[in-house]
Amino acid sequence: MLESHLKIGNACWAPEGDPPALSDALTTDGARRLAGRFATAHHDGHRVTLARDPLGLNKLYVGLHPSGHVAVANYLLDLVDAGVPFSQTYAVPAGAIVTLDLRQRTTSSSRYRRLPPSGSSVRPTTAILTEVAATLAAGLRRLAAANGDTPTIVCLSGGPDSSLIAAYAARHLANVTAYTYYYSRDGAALSHDAVAAQQVASHLGIPIRLVPATADMIFAALPRALAFGQDWRDFNVHAAIVNDLLAAAIAADHPTGPRPLVLTGDLMNELLADYSPIRYSGTTYYALPDLPIGTLRHYLTRGVQTGDREVGMFHTHGLEVIQPYGWVFDHLLKLPNELPKHHVIGELAGEYLPAEIIRRPKVRAQIGDYESRNGHDGILPQLTRAGIDQPKLTGLFCRAFHIDQPADLHRAVRAGIHQPPPERW
Amino acid sequence: MTTAPTTFEAVADAIEHFVRQHAIVADDDHGFNREVDLFDTGYIDSLGLVTLTSHLECTFEVTLSEEDLFHEDFATIDGMARLIVARRHRSE
């Protein structure tokens, strides 16, 4: 018997040829043709077949009962609520098709797609980026054709990744609005990020809606970020809080009519390993493994399959999120490891964005520009000052998912991977 | 031609050396040994595991699957050495 809690819609398409039926995702050839995110399950007799997108953007968790009963879900919490202990939750690996034999209680798994080695392309960089630009444009044109006048929201941080997506959206889609999170404090000027986002929106000729967040709103969003962002690691929890507040504002602004499409610039930072640890108040946060850049790109991208800071968070507000960089992950991963990000964004932006936007230094929304006179100290400083540091987040996550102790959590999730279903159960 | 250690003892030695260095294990830490669960005891955390697996793949010229991370052998130094030696023999 299959008990399905798959609530999150699939958002995938075929860059080459006609869009296949979703059931095609259950075959190796069909799944290989799809770009975007999907998680699907099919029950046929004593077999359950499960397939998941190549990056694992849609979560696909499985609970196995000794009786042969199988429960599948996008949200771990749905399995836990259905009585499956966290230690017995499993994830279909990204880019895999998994078949469960309910009679034999066995699992067979095949990978239809794997991450290419980082920096492995022998083609000229310009040729790769031309292909990336064409695929991004084709995907957005396809969205425009499929969704008509449905409003499109771009989550615009003011940084180059989301600015590029905003530029493509403004060119290919109608009715585009930028939404920008900012930490709001009485009497303070707008954050650097919010000002930069305003400049980008003005340059592109699209309206912008600033979404203010107060400290109270940040704390109120934390339990939701843990539960539906499905992660306890500080960086992802903080990002999930930003997304929860953005999603709440978007949903509130569109109470009737078709729900808007939400586009984001997520994933580029993983694909190019454009991250660095943050030093705040004498402590290092968002630490990274000490690896060469190419290896780091691989592990960061592989880790996307665990945690749900975007898709899971937006869905709880009835919104489906599209991450266009996910359509071209293999091309972007193959780019040379030493290629500067501003070169990538610059090539893809063409005439769409001015150089000062492309080269603007990163300021993450969840961190804020706390060192500036404005004192926009963001989520990381707010939470850590309240004692909500990494051990506390781990504890809160364990409590929410009925996990007895952190060691049990780390038995089920290691190195950014949730344990796959066992061969026999 | 590969210069990576090939015998079980040599592989385990190399892994122990790496873990001791990475996890900053004191020489007089009597709780640390090759059969201790590196995760349950906190010698290796999630970031450390990423670094360790990358090191193992590079040093011993093996590919570790995501399933390997959850293999019961993978929790200890001796277990990792067994997995790696077996994997190398299989690829020869």
- Quick: pLDDT tens for A135-191: 999 999 999 999 988 999 999 999 999 999 999 999 999 999 999 999 887 767 788
The answer to whether residue B8 neighbours chain A at the CB level (below 8 Å) is: no
Q: Do A420 and B67 touch (CB under 8 A)?
A: yes
Q: Do B70 and A420 touch (CB under 8 A)?
A: yes
CA distance between the termini of chain B: 13
Average pLDDT estimate for A220-242: 97
Average pLDDT estimate for A233-244: 96
Q: Could you tell me which residues come within 8 angstroms of residue A52 by beta carbon, excluding any fewer than 6 positions away?
A: A38, A39, A40, A58, A60, A92, A93, A94, A95, A96, A305
pLDDT at residue A232 in the model:
97
Burial group, residue A423, by CB count within 10 angstroms (0-12, 13-18, 19+) = exposed
Average pLDDT estimate for A329-348: 96
The DSSP 8-state label assigned to residue A351 in this structure reads: T
| Contact residues, chain A, for B70 at CB < 8 Å | 414, 419-420
Tell me: the pLDDT tens digits for A302-315?
999 999 999 999 99
| Contact residues, chain A, for B46 at CB < 8 Å | 233, 410, 413-416
pLDDT at residue A210 in the model:
96
Query: Residue for token digits 């190419």?
Result: A294
Q: Where are the domains of chain B?
A: 8-26+33-91
- What residue type is A123 in one-letter code? R
pLDDT at residue B81 in the model:
96
The closest CB to that of A289, out of B39, B50, B69, belongs to B50
Q: Where are the domains of chain A?
A: 2-114, 125-399
Tell me: the pLDDT tens digits for A360-405?
876 666 676 655 545 557 899 899 999 999 999 999 999 999 999 8
More confident residue, B87 or A417: A417
Instruction: Tell me the nearest-neighbour CA distance from A421 into chain B, angstroms.
Output: 9
Instruction: Tell me the nearest-neighbour CA distance from A418 into chain B, angstroms.
Output: 9
| Of residues B39, B32, B34, the one with CA closest to residue B70 | B39
| Contact residues, chain A, for B51 at CB < 8 Å | 289-291
Q: Do A289 and B54 touch (CB under 8 A)?
A: yes
In the predicted model, what is the mean pLDDT of chain A? 92
The closest CB to that of A299, out of B50, B67, B70, belongs to B50
Average pLDDT estimate for A311-326: 97
B8-26+33-91 is classed CATH 3.40.630.30: no
Q: Do A415 and B50 touch (CB under 8 A)?
A: yes
pLDDT at residue A376 in the model:
55
| Contact residues, chain A, for B69 at CB < 8 Å | 414-415, 417
pLDDT at residue A375 in the model:
53
pLDDT at residue A370 in the model:
55
Instruction: Tell me the nearest-neighbour CA distance from B57 into chain A, angstroms.
Output: 11
The answer to whether residue B45 neighbours chain A at the CB level (below 8 Å) is: yes
| Contact residues, chain A, for B39 at CB < 8 Å | 407, 410-411, 414
Q: Band of the pLDDT at A241, cuts 50, 70, 90?
A: very high
Instruction: Tell me the nearest-neighbour CA distance from A72 into chain B, angstroms.
Output: 19
pLDDT at residue A364 in the model:
67
pLDDT at residue A318 in the model:
96
Is the model's pLDDT at A62 over the cut of 60?
A: yes
Alpha-carbon distance A156 to A178, whole Å? Answer: 6
Interface confidence, given as ipTM, is 0.88
C-alpha to C-alpha distances, A93 to A9, A96, A210, nearest whole angstrom: 18, 5, 37
Backbone angles phi, psi at A378, to 5 degrees: 60, -170
Q: Do A414 and B49 touch (CB under 8 A)?
A: yes
The answer to whether residue B71 neighbours chain A at the CB level (below 8 Å) is: no
Q: Which of B46, B63, B64 to mutate to test the interface with A (most CBs of A within 10 A)?
A: B46
Task: For residue B57, give both structure tokens.
Answer: 């793949």
- What residue type is A74 in one-letter code? N
Q: Which chain A residue has the Cα nearest residue B57? A: A295
A109 within 8 A of A98, measured Cβ to Cβ: yes
| Contact residues, chain A, for B67 at CB < 8 Å | 420
pLDDT at residue A92 in the model:
98
pLDDT at residue A311 in the model:
98
Tell me: the pLDDT tens digits for A3-22?
999 999 999 998 887 766 77
Q: Do B39 and A411 touch (CB under 8 A)?
A: yes
Tell me: the pLDDT tens digits for A269-283?
999 999 989 888 899
> What is the DSSP track for B33-84?
-TTS-TTTTTSS-HHHHHHHHHHHHHHHT----TTGGGSGGGGSHHHHHHHH
Average pLDDT estimate for A331-344: 96
The closest CB to that of B54, out of A93, A291, A413, belongs to A291
Q: Which chain B residue has the Cα nearest residue A232? A: B46
Q: Which of B58, B59, B66, B71 to mutate to test the interface with A (most CBs of A within 10 A)?
A: B66
The closest CB to that of B51, out of A93, A290, A420, belongs to A290
Q: Which chain B residue has the Cα nearest residue A410? A: B39
pLDDT at residue B34 in the model:
95
Is the model's pLDDT at A247 over the cut of 90?
A: yes
Q: Do A290 and B70 touch (CB under 8 A)?
A: no
The closest CB to that of A289, out of B51, B67, B69, belongs to B51
Q: Band of the pLDDT at A67, cuts 50, 70, 90?
A: confident
Q: Do B46 and A93 touch (CB under 8 A)?
A: no
Q: Which residues of chain B have pLDDT under 50?
A: none
| Contact residues, chain B, for A284 at CB < 8 Å | none
What CATH fold (topology level) applies to the domain A2-114?
Glutamine Phosphoribosylpyrophosphate, subunit 1, domain 1 (3.60.20)
Task: For residue A100, give both structure tokens.
Answer: 């469960």
Q: Band of the pLDDT at A217, cuts 50, 70, 90?
A: very high
Burial group, residue A129, by CB count within 10 angstroms (0-12, 13-18, 19+) = buried
pLDDT at residue A372 in the model:
55
| Of residues A266, A270, A269, A261, the one with CA closest to residue A324 | A266
CATH class of the domain at A125-399: alpha beta
Q: Percent of chain A scored above 70 by pLDDT?
A: 96
In chain A, the largest separation of any two C-alpha atoms, in whole Å, equals 66
Average pLDDT estimate for A23-45: 89
Average pLDDT estimate for A76-102: 96
pLDDT at residue A185 in the model:
76
Alpha-carbon distance A171 to A238, whole Å? Answer: 31
**How many other C-beta atoms can be found within 10 angstroms of the C-beta atom of residue B7?**
10
The answer to whether residue B35 neighbours chain A at the CB level (below 8 Å) is: no
Is the model's pLDDT at A107 over the cut of 80?
A: yes
